[in-house]
Amino acid sequence: MNPEKTAKQNRPKKKRRNPFRYFVYDFVKFTGALPVLVWLRPKIIYESKAAKKLIKGAAVVVSNHVGFTDPIGVSFVLWYRHTHMIAAERLYNTKLSSWFFSHINCIRVDRQNFNMETFRAAVDVLEDGKPLVIFPEGGVNREDHNVTPIKAFKSGAVMMALKGHAPIINVYLTPPEHWYDRFVIVVGESVDPAELCGGAVSLTAVDKVTEGLREKEFKLREIYQQWRMRKSSK
Amino acid sequence: MTRTEIKDRLVEIMLVAMPDAEETIKTATEESNLHTDLGFNSVGILYIVIAIEEFFNVRFENVGFNDFQTVGDVIDYIERAQAA
């Protein structure tokens, strides 16, 4: 028996990927870039020098959810990557929207009855070394931003990061007061959820990490407020 | 694996998930509700499902987490998956 041949046979087969799987995503990205840049005029602020580093490999990007332009806002941060996003099932209510969201790398989630298929699809993305964007508030925060700036986070994002062995990056998106306001995005440093959980991963540890992510959002919000004050004092 | 053995393993998994609720979990019966009696939310169920998949070497297909209401529902599913 030829050992080289046997080793070759035993090697795990690489998943066959459709070479055009990002065609629609790239088309939307490149054709939409200029008008969106003109409209939103994004300003990206980084928490530190470490946060400025390019995001390579898998990462779970968590962000607050203030409006329908948020996925675009997060895409500004990751403009150089093919990002995947978790999207609510109600966005898939027509054939056209279902086709569109599936082709721009969205993973459908049933918020009322979460299933394993969604979780597996998300973990697959991470294991594939791609970034995954999640809005852990579970929907657009329509409450008064002065009273509830960030709603409670759901722990699913941490579970996905743990299972996909990916770091988590916080992003804070500023709620625009007017349609013509500049879109300001604050990017935090990445954190390792496994390290934060310590040795044993229990639900209490997961909840603690999730709460930590929410607290980080408040920290990023402060960074934005300081930037705004500096800007207005000039 | 017998139904009792599956239940014992499931209790072990639940104890790792929620060590604070040791007393409630240890006294759980097949009729105990995962949400109301044991206090598992959707992420809690997700945690249990991941652990079950790894431990029992089964795969949860086409099930929503609302499909599991009681400890018995989970045991039923594991039994069915192992038999398949």
Per-domain residue ranges of chain B: 3-83
A86: contact with B, CB 8 A cutoff: no
- Domain, as residue range, for A103: 20-47+55-233
* Whole-prediction pTM: 0.86
Q: What is the CA radius of gyration of chain A?
A: 19
Angle formed at CA B11 by CA A203 and CA B17, multiple of 5 degrees: 10
In the sheet with A106-109, reading across from the earlier edge strand, the strands are A43-46, A184-191, A168-173, A59-63, A131-134, A84-88, A106-109
If chain A, 234 residues long, is cut into consecutive pieces of 10 residues, what is the mean pLDDT of each piece? Answer: 56 66 90 88 93 93 91 91 92 92 91 86 95 91 78 92 95 86 92 87 90 96 93 81
Torsion sign (Cα): A121, A123, A129, A132: positive
Which among A173, A120, A28, A202 has a CA at the least distance from the CA of B20? A202
Residue A9 domain-assigned?
Answer: no
Say which CATH superfamily domain B3-83 falls into.
ACP-like (1.10.1200.10)
- Give the Cα separation of B21 and B39 in Å (integer): 9
B47: contact with A, CB 8 A cutoff: yes
Residue A12 domain-assigned?
Answer: no
Long-range contacts of B2-7 (CB under 8 A, 24+ apart): B3/B75, B3/B79, B6/B56, B6/B75, B6/B78, B6/B79, B7/B71, B7/B75
Q: Give the tokens for residue B72.
A: 């018995």
Note the pLDDT of residue A7: 57
SS3 content of chain A, % helix, strand, coil (to 5): 45, 15, 40
Residue A107 domain-assigned?
Answer: yes
How many structural domains does chain A have?
1
Residue A180 domain-assigned?
Answer: yes
User: Tens digits of per-residue pLDDT, B34-74?
Assistant: 999 998 888 888 899 999 998 888 888 877 888 889 999 99
Average pLDDT estimate for B27-40: 91
Residue A200: its chain B contacts at CB < 8 A? 16
- Whether ipTM exceeds 0.90: no
Torsion sign (Cα): A148, A231, A222, A78: positive
Pairing of strands A59-63, A168-173: parallel
Count of beta carbons in the 10 Å neighbourhood of residue A222: 12
Residue A129 domain-assigned?
Answer: yes
Beta bridge partners of A174: none
DSSP, collapsed to helix, strand or coil, labels residue A187 as: strand
Contact predicate B53/B39, CB 8 Å:
no
**Which residues touch A49 (CB under 8 Å, ≥6 apart)?**
none
B56: contact with A, CB 8 A cutoff: no
Residue A202: its chain B contacts at CB < 8 A? 16-19
Note the pLDDT of residue A6: 55
User: Residue written as tokens 């509700």?
Assistant: B33
Mutate to test the interface with A, among B40, B46, B53 (most CBs of A within 10 A): B46
Give me the CATH number covering residue A129.
3.40.1130.10
* CA–centroid distance for B60 within its chain: 12
- With CB atoms and an 8 Å threshold, state whether A206 touches B47: yes
Angle formed at CA B24 by CA B20 and CA B27, multiple of 5 degrees: 135
- With CB atoms and an 8 Å threshold, state whether A155 touches B43: yes
Residue A5 domain-assigned?
Answer: no
